[in-house]
Structure 1
Amino acid sequence: MTDRLAAQFAFLEEADRLKSVLRANVLLDGSRPENVGEHSWHLALWALVMAGSQPGVDLARVVAMLVLHDLPEIDTGDQPIHLDHDAPALARAEAQAARRIFGLLPPDIGAPLLALWQEFEAADTAEARLAKQLDHAQPIFQVLMSPTPLADHLAVVRDNLASGRAARFRDEWPEAYALAQDLLAGRPGTAPGELRARLSFLAEADRLKSVLRATTLCDGSRRENSGEHSWHLALYAMILADQAPGTVRIDRVIRMLVLHDLVEIDTGDVPIHSAGGTAHASAETLAAEARAADRIFGLLPAAQTREFRALWDEFEAAESPDAVFAKSLDRVQPVMQNLACGGGTWTSYGVSFDQLESRVGVKIARGAPGIWQWVRARALPWFENRGLGPAPSLPPAPGPG
């Protein structure tokens, strides 16, 4: 089990690099380029919002594909659709990257995930075709719903809708195609109200990519944002599913983790070690998050408002097996980020090992005791080496005679 968890966490650390791969798209506010990790999170959210009621489609598999689909770009980088490239050569490079990256995992985990990635690429199943559709739609509305879209990005969207891969939306998704054309032309259009509400929610969700956390990326290069953190947690759930109790439904855990931090659009991130560990779960913080949940999930059509809010409430209450396991993953990911970058928030907040165990370890152990046992053994030396944790006890010296 030790070697198995080592491989699983090595994969998850390697996946962290996707947060540093930049796309041609920019955030809706135009402040910076979007990275591929937060793009993958946004697409998983798109699937929950747009594909949840599709008959005959396994939503869990669609979400899983979108969480995984761009991992090969760790090696190949992002290839913007409007630039010329050698498509067969790129496909070969991405396939090689997928074999390397998924090959980091134990075979019983890596092989099915590689097959899922290959299914997405082939687009031969209903789930893969829907995942591709969402992957192609998100960048279009990322441009069209921006308050200040860039002129060259509008030109790319116009060409894409006219003769590119999005031209097929005219038949496959006519409501979205018509709305895109209306937005491009500056017309109000006649798109259904539910489609507009869903797109408004997804546009608002883009703001989560600008909420900074205290935790840094594994390489320590910058602070992580809550959008890419949510993507990484969804991946954690997929990779560490074997550590969940048998009653846990991983598909529901992933949905919780995709949604769980959306309230931070209004409240910001409250680090678990800030204010002596008291601010994170204070009555003031919890009330602010509840108000944010009311506003943000309230942007959706009524049925989805109820569905998403209930899932968020379940996560917050941490009473169901799914929520307990989701909370464990939410606590363990920052620990692994800190270990990777040499201490991170433990240094900046002056955290002791006892504080780590009481604030974090207890919650990890509640849902995933095997994970905490493994992680604890790796975190403890960091604290001991700095005089912030218990040193191993030594047997008493023998008495005279």
Structure 2
Amino acid sequence: MLDGTMAFLCEADRLKSVDRANVLMDLSRPENSAEHSWHVALYGLVFGASDRALAMILLHDLVEIDTGDHPIHLSHDAARVAEAEARAAGRLFGLPDGGAVLHALWAEFEAADSPDARFAKRMDHVQPLFQVLQAARPLPDHVAIVRDNLDRGRAARLTVEWPEVVGAARSLLSGREVGQGDLARRLAFLAEADRLKSVLRANRLVDGSRRENTAEHSWHLALYALVLAGLAPAVDIGRVIRMALIHDLVEIDVGDVPLHSAGGLAHGAPERRASEERAAQRLFGLLPERQGRALMAMWQEFEAARTPEAIFAKGLDRFQPAFQNLASGGVGWREYSVTLDQVRGRVGPAVRLASAPLWDWLDERLVAHFA
């Protein structure tokens, strides 16, 4: 079972190389579909998505690995795009175990014929609007696309479905502030979260083309939790996914520290923990007070790794980079002169505690790689 599942998760890495028409809020480069999926899922978390809606968001753009992105301001043959995406879904979700469930979630999202799917679609259509409008210097041609989208495009329905958020978008279009209420605070938090897409990690993509960023990693980790849920039947996977989505937000302020750098000690250093705590207080403090406290508590739960959900999330957070290194031929390990004993010592305990079968599967391949 695990061989097929890991092949799927490895293939999913390719979504990090699919560029979209949107750009990051600092205008530095195009956004890719993996970090977009993370950001949309974070929107969903902040605005009250169900676990099923979050699962749909994690999966919704995987078909772009085969079909690419189709910007809304360009004309497309909708029937041909739908046919190509259906073929891509059939290929990608062709897992030996569990693929049918994922395929059904993707199809439900596409059909938008359930409350969860409609909520997920709403998040997917709102995130690009505010990514343009909340940029420090919004690009005029992108602003024009947003205006047309709100007036006549797929976002026009939000005038009825979610008038508050359309009002906020139109305020920004007119050069006014959103306001000071809960919606404004949530949007400010989500805009700040965009910066996670520019935090680079030591790991490289599976194809070795560049370093992974922390937003992509957070999406991929949440996908790992969704797909590997069967390894932890007593764990609330919805909570694990939520932890994965927020667990590394503090790196906006403190950056990434590679697990195998500086002897691996930086991860446990008191000064590092204190810096991360301050970053969490600042970031979650942007949200409405009650929601900010709840997410702060969830982040602290992940860090402490004492509950079943946090133990599983922490184990996957150690497993994903190790497997990605294996899949890329160990390029990251060579850069830091990492040995088998170091990987076993720094990755093994957390993964084994999360799932002994998962560690056994990984360890067998680690031994073969380092041999």
Smaller-chain TM-score range?
A: over 0.9
* Distance of 1:44 and 1:29 partners within structure 2: 20
CA contact (8 A) 1:263 1:289 kept: yes
Which consecutive unaligned segments of at least 5 residues does structure 2 have? Answer: none
Choose which of 107, 118, 135 in structure 2 pairs with 1:129: 118
CA contact (8 A) 1:214 1:223 kept: yes
Look up the match of 2:308.
321
Pairwise CA RMSD: 0.9
* Distance of 1:123 and 1:342 partners within structure 2: 40
Look up the match of 1:298.
285
CA contact (8 A) 1:28 1:206 kept: yes
Look up the match of 2:75.
84
CA contact (8 A) 1:314 1:320 kept: yes
* Distance of 2:61 and 2:319 partners within structure 1: 24
Q: In the alignment, does 2:254 pair up with 1:267?
A: yes
* Distance of 2:288 and 2:305 partners within structure 1: 26
How far 1:349 sits from its partner (Å)? Answer: 1.0
Look up the match of 2:24.
27
TM-score (ref. length: structure 2): 0.99
Number of equivalences: 371
Q: Secondary structure at the match of 1:228?
A: helix
Choose which of 194, 198, 208 in structure 2 pairs with 1:210: 198
Within a 5 Å distance, the mapping from 1:143-222 to structure 2 comes to 143-188=132-177, 191=179, 193-222=181-210
* Distance of 2:128 and 2:197 partners within structure 1: 15
Letter of the 1:285 partner, please give it.
Answer: R
How far 1:192 sits from its partner (Å)? Answer: 6.0
CA contact (8 A) 1:60 1:251 kept: yes
How far 1:259 sits from its partner (Å)? Answer: 0.5
Look up the match of 1:62.
53
Q: In the alignment, does 2:247 pair up with 1:257?
A: no
Within a 5 Å distance, the mapping from 1:279-298 to structure 2 comes to 279-298=266-285
* Distance of 2:253 and 2:222 partners within structure 1: 22
User: Structure 1 vs Structure 2: percent identity of aligned residues?
Assistant: 60
CA contact (8 A) 1:274 1:280 kept: no
Q: In the alignment, does 2:10 pair up with 1:50?
A: no
CA contact (8 A) 1:337 1:344 kept: no
* Distance of 1:17 and 1:274 partners within structure 2: 26
CA contact (8 A) 1:234 1:258 kept: yes
Letter of the 1:211 partner, please give it.
Answer: V
How far 1:187 sits from its partner (Å)? Answer: 2.0
TM-score (ref. length: structure 1): 0.91
Within a 5 Å distance, the mapping from 1:223-372 to structure 2 comes to 223-244=211-232, 246-372=233-359
* Distance of 1:30 and 1:62 partners within structure 2: 29
Cα-to-partner distance string for 1:157-191 (whole Å, 9 max, x where unaligned): 010111111111111111111111110011235x5
Q: Pick the structure with greater CA Rg.
A: 1
